[in-house]
Amino acid sequence: MKNNYKFLNNINFPSDIKKLSQNELKTLAQEVREEMIDAVSETGGHLGAGLGVVELTVVLHYVFNTPNDKLIWDVGHQSYPHKILTGRKDKIRTLRKGNGLSGFTKRTESEYDPFGAAHSSTSISSALGIAIANKLSNKSDNVIAVIGDGAISAGMAYEAMNNAGSSKTKLIVILNDNDMSIAKPVGAMRAYLAKIFTGKIYFSLRETVKLVISAFSKRFSKKAGKAEDFLRSAVTGGTLFSSMGFYYVGPIDGHDIDALVSVLKNAKEVNYEGPIMVHIKTKKGKGYSFAEKSEDKYHGVTKFNINTGVQEKSKSNAPSYTKVFANTLVNHAEKDSKIIGITAAMPSGTGMDIFGKKFPSRMFDVGIAEQHAVTFAAGLATEGYKPYAAIYSTFLQRAYDQVVHDVAIQSLPVRFAIDRAGLVGADGPTHAGSFDITYLSTLPNFVVMAASDESELVKMINTSVDINDRPSAFRYPRGNGIGIDIPNLSEKLEIGKGRIIKEGKNVALINFGARLNECLIARENLTKKGINLTLVDARFVKPLDENLIWQIATDHEALITIEEGSIGGFGSHVAQFLNEKKLLDGNLRFRSMFLPDRFIDHDKPDLMYKYAGLDATNIENKILDTINSKVVVKKSN
């Protein structure tokens, strides 16, 4: 810590917070906010979400007996204040760095993180599971889930609330309503929450919230009357949550420590068999003017100057893959009115905000609802439209059944723009695009491509526009391209055809995806050692370029594949083809390079690829090892 704080210096664990008076909590909250801003200015990370829940975090640890009482943060990107107060303040400047703190909650990091999370809308489900486990074990510990207004709109949250409402199990859900999850929340839930908060009755009877707080515990006794029920519903209007079996209270000012203490103490102490919903209203980016004024409330930031709010810019002059995708799609959409853009609550992350500004009536942000996004796209495809579902690889996992059942089986021409393919750096394994090659290339009727650079990405987008008889997908990494010229819209690929980058002798390396530049470095190093290898860019895993692979396999003594994905992907398809054609029965030495069978912790991307064995040095060593190995062919009698 850099500042001599009045209280925070002496706060190491939540037990220390309980030594403070309720009035002193306000100073502590301000100190936590200052420390978080200072730390994230050095590390980068998720800023706005954490700033909005500082007061809530302080009060939760003041009122409840964590870690015995289980506190679950949905998504986890708002957990930085929680980390500061739970024994990790001295490590807070290691956030998202190698061997440092995770940017999300993580069970192996602290006993105060009872459930790891980095994907949204899992908190109520996991909290209910823990609450029922407590019930079965005759434990009286509380379980609290904190979920945002964007996350609660997702299908999984509704499923969990539906189950919780009939469970007769005590569970406290805090709805953190800040009208801003990552992007602006969308859909009917947003309108519903806005109506609750902005209703004239709420503002004209603001003081009656105090009556609701005082009546809280009475509500659970048989003495509670219709008048109190009417007052609560008149002030709050929480009809939806009440109808799902929740006892609803709110909205409460989420930055008012006194109100939070009163409400949460009552929620903790009341003997009630059922879920309680406490609706709080907060401001994302609270307490840092640049974050408060930002359109996305400084959701995710790079290192920044605290005094000016200016974020550190990328040193690369090459455009990001995301912008290349967005700008190329816009160019096509100007000529083709059937092109539709779809994203699941990630318009800026996927570049769909660029598309939406140009074509507002043709871009649909469906909220945190990847399953719906895919089937929605399938519906559009049945009517002759050309939907592009731009979804991170790691989030598309959540919609795999829809990809199979609603798209692939019906052979509908949905185009999947798969961003964040491969390892992603500071966000770690929860956000890595490790599995899409495998889970998509197993499906019949699919075209699956991977861009080796930004030029190839444009060609793949160009190609996908004309694929009207089946679904297609093209994957590309996070970050910037390599800085080469962008082709025009007419440059397309022949489906299922790869390309030879460099020709050599004896050894061939077939790349699938964005490891091509590392392959070129490895080839250059080997050339200096007198080894000239053939380098191929596969472009497609499905359909596989069988003619090219046959040619390479029969012309070389050794063949190596490389990809930024798990086992079961490109290398497995090549191995299956070689085996089927009996090309592995002779002297061909075949090896595959792919992500190892483990989750790789957050770090700088280049270091993560080094740990994964997919950097130039490891590629070079694999080639040398393959050359030096001997193949023993068993002869039949």
Residues annotated catalytic, as ranges? 284, 370, 398
315, 360 in Cβ contact below 8 A?
no
Cα atoms in the 13 Å half-sphere on the side-chain side of 255: 12
Of the candidates 221, 257, 252, the one whose C-alpha atom is nearest the C-alpha of residue 235 is 252
Of the candidates 172, 177, 157, the one whose C-alpha atom is nearest the C-alpha of residue 69 is 172
Token readout for 112 is 């105060």
DSSP string for 132-176: HHHHHTT----EEEEEETTGGGSHHHHHHHHHHHTS---EEEEEE
Return the SS3 of 457: helix
Token readout for 25 is 């909590």
Token readout for 53 is 């829940």
Question: Residue 515 CA to chain centroid, in angstroms?
Answer: 23
613, 518 in Cβ contact below 8 A?
no
**Is residue 336 exposed (0-12), middle (13-18) or buried (19+ Cβ within 10 Å)?**
exposed
Of the candidates 108, 82, 104, the one whose C-alpha atom is nearest the C-alpha of residue 13 is 82
> Is the four-CA dihedral 150, 153, 159, 160 of positive or negative sign?
positive
- Tell me, what amino acid is at 521? I
455, 489 in Cβ contact below 8 A?
no
CB-based burial, 566-576: b 16+ in 10 Å, e otherwise: beebbbbbbbe
119, 26 in Cβ contact below 8 A?
no
- Please give the DSSP secondary-structure letter assigned to residue 76: S
**Is residue 289 exposed (0-12), middle (13-18) or buried (19+ Cβ within 10 Å)?**
exposed
> Is the four-CA dihedral 294, 296, 298, 302 of positive or negative sign?
negative
* Residues forming a β-bridge with 147: 175
> Is the four-CA dihedral 97, 101, 103, 108 of positive or negative sign?
positive
Q: How far is CA 136 from CA 72, 130, 160, 169, 592, in A?
A: 20, 10, 19, 10, 48
